[in-house]
Amino acid sequence: MTFSDIFKSSFIENVTSVSILDMVIAMALAFCLGLFIFFVYKKTYSGVMYSAGFGTTLIALTMITTLVILAVTSNVVLSLGMVGALSIVRFRTAIKEPLDIAFLFWSIAAGIVLAAGMIPLAVFGSILIGIILLVFVNKKEKTNPYILVVSCRDSDSEKAVKEFLDKRSTRSIVKSKTVQKGNVELNLEVRIKDDNTDFVNEIADMNGVNSAVLVSYNGEYMG
C-alpha cells in the first residue's frame, strides 16, 4: 500500500459527494422555511402556555432533516444504515396540543422535500399550509365561550337559572350536573354576544342560588 492509497478511502471520496454550494443553498432554505413554520406556529398558537423552545425546535428539526436527507441521497449504503440507526430512536416527550403534531410533521416533510431537490414544492407547499393554518386556526367565534358553575339548593332554583340563561345568552348547554342533598351544582357552557358579565351577579342574587362562578375557556371541555 502506497502513501496515495491511504487517501483513496471511501471516507475521503465521500467528502465531495455533496458540493459546498448545494449544502449552503439547502441549509439556508431550510433555515428560512423553519423560520416561516415558527412564525405560523407563533401566530396560530392557542394553548395555555406558549413555549418558545418548541418554536426553536421546529427550525432545528427542519435543518436537521435536510442535513440527514442530503447525506442519504448521496449514498445508498448510508441510507440503509441511517434507517437502521433511526429505527432504535424512541421519543418520550408528550405532545400536549394536537396541532403541535402537525407542525412537527410539517418541519420534517419540508426538510425531506427540500433536501430531495424539490425546492418549488417545499416553498409553495409550506406557504399554502401556512395560509390554511392562519385562516382556520385564527378563525374566531362571534360569541365568547364561558363555563358557568352554579350551585343551587333545589330543582326549582335550577330551573329558574336555566330560564334566565335562555333569555340573557345566545347559547347555554349543560356540561355536567352534580346532585347532593340540599345542593345541585351545574356546569354550563354559556355564550354571550359581548363581554358584559353582569348577568352573573343577577344569578348569584337569585333565590335558591348559593354561588355562581364564570370561567373563560377555549371551547374544549374535559369532563
Whether 60 and 121 share a structural domain:
yes
CA–CA gap between residue 4 and residue 6 (Å, rounded): 5
Q: Are residues 78 and 21 in the same domain?
A: yes
Q: In what order do the strands lie in the sheet with 183-192?
A: 171-180, 183-192, 144-152, 209-216
Q: What is the mean pLDDT of the chain?
A: 78
pLDDT of res. 211: 87
In this model, does residue 12 exceed pLDDT 70? Answer: no
Q: Is residue 38 part of a domain?
A: yes
Structural domain boundaries enclosing 83: 3-137
Q: C-alpha cell of 112?
A: 425531506
Q: Which residue has the higher pLDDT, 1 or 40?
A: 40
Choosing from 69, 104, 137, the residue where a domain stops is: 137
Residues 81 and 186 in one domain: no
221 lies in some domain: no
Does 14 share its domain with 85? Answer: yes
Q: How confident is the model at residue 210 (pLDDT cuts 50, 70, 90)?
A: confident
Question: Do 89 and 174 reside in the same domain of the chain?
Answer: no
Triad 217, 104, 110: Cα angle to 5° = 135
Same domain, 16 and 45: yes
Higher pLDDT, 56 or 45: 56
- Domain identity same for 154 and 202: yes
Q: Which of 193, 194, 195, 184 is nearest to 162 (CA)?
A: 184
pLDDT value for 223 = 39
What CA–CA distance (Å, rounded) separates 201 from 216? Answer: 16
> CB count, 10 Å around CB of 173?
11
Q: What is the DSSP letter of 92?
A: -
Final residue of a structural domain among 71, 104, 137:
137
Angle between helices 76-86 and 52-74 (to 10 degrees): 140
Domain count, the chain: 2
Task: With cut-offs at 50, 70 and 90, classify the pLDDT of residue 143.
Answer: low
Single residue among 84, 108, 137 that ends a domain in this structure: 137
Residue 67 — very low, low, confident or very high, per pLDDT cuts 50/70/90?
confident
Between the two ends of the chain, the Cα-to-Cα distance in Å is: 74
Does the pLDDT of residue 16 top 60, yes or no? no
Domain with 152 in it: what CATH number?
3.30.70.260
pLDDT at 7 over 60: no
Q: Are 47 and 96 in contact (CB under 8 A)?
A: yes
How would residue 6 be classed by pLDDT, with cut points 50, 70 and 90?
A: very low
